[in-house]
């Protein structure tokens, strides 16, 4: 992607991915990397920050003798995602008006 991904946009994308289902870090980072040009080293601090802010919870689940750390969106995270979507639509409309001559 040519355009830089801001921290807020990255947060919104991570929350949106987790809205679909709980998932563990590796799968989440791979899903995000398919959509955005970001590295795993960029996403793990985002996950920690979202958790610290109360937008995510984590839990461990055993798999093949090891634990996988799963991330789950909280009610606070869902509210934050709604706010991000509202702000994104406003931003997108503004940019569309400039770039595309849209309404």
Q: Return d(Cα 51, Cα 92) in angstroms, integer.
A: 27
Structural domains in the chain, sorted by start: 7-99 (1.10.10.10)
38 φ/ψ angles, rounded to the nearest 5 degrees: -130, 155
pLDDT at residue 1, as a whole number? 58
pLDDT at residue 59, as a whole number? 96
Q: Where in the chain does DSSP place strands (E)?
A: 23-24, 56-63, 66-73
pTM reported for the whole predicted model: 0.88
pLDDT at residue 40, as a whole number? 84
pLDDT at residue 2, as a whole number? 65
pLDDT at residue 57, as a whole number? 98
Beta bridge pairs of residue 59? 70
Which two structure tokens, joined as six digits, stand for 25? 């870090």
Mean pLDDT by 10 residues, the chain (103 residues): 80 95 92 86 93 97 93 98 97 92 70
Question: Could you give the angle at the alpha carbon of 47 between the alpha carbons of 44 and 51, nearest 5°?
Answer: 145
Residues contacting 7, CB < 8 A, separation 6+: 46
């Amino acid at each position: 992607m040519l355009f830089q991904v801001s921290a807020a946009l990255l947060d919104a994308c991570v929350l949106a991915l987790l809205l679909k289902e709980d998932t563990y870090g590796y799968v989440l980072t791979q899903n995000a990397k398919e959509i955005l040009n970001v590295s795993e080293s960029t996403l793990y601090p985002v996950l920690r920050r979202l958790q610290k802010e109360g937008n995510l919870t984590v839990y461990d689940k055993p798999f093949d003798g090891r634990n996988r750390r799963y991330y789950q969106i909280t009610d606070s995270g869902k509210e934050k995602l709604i706010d991000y979507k509202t702000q994104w639509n406003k931003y997108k409309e503004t940019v569309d008006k400039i770039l595309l001559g849209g309404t």
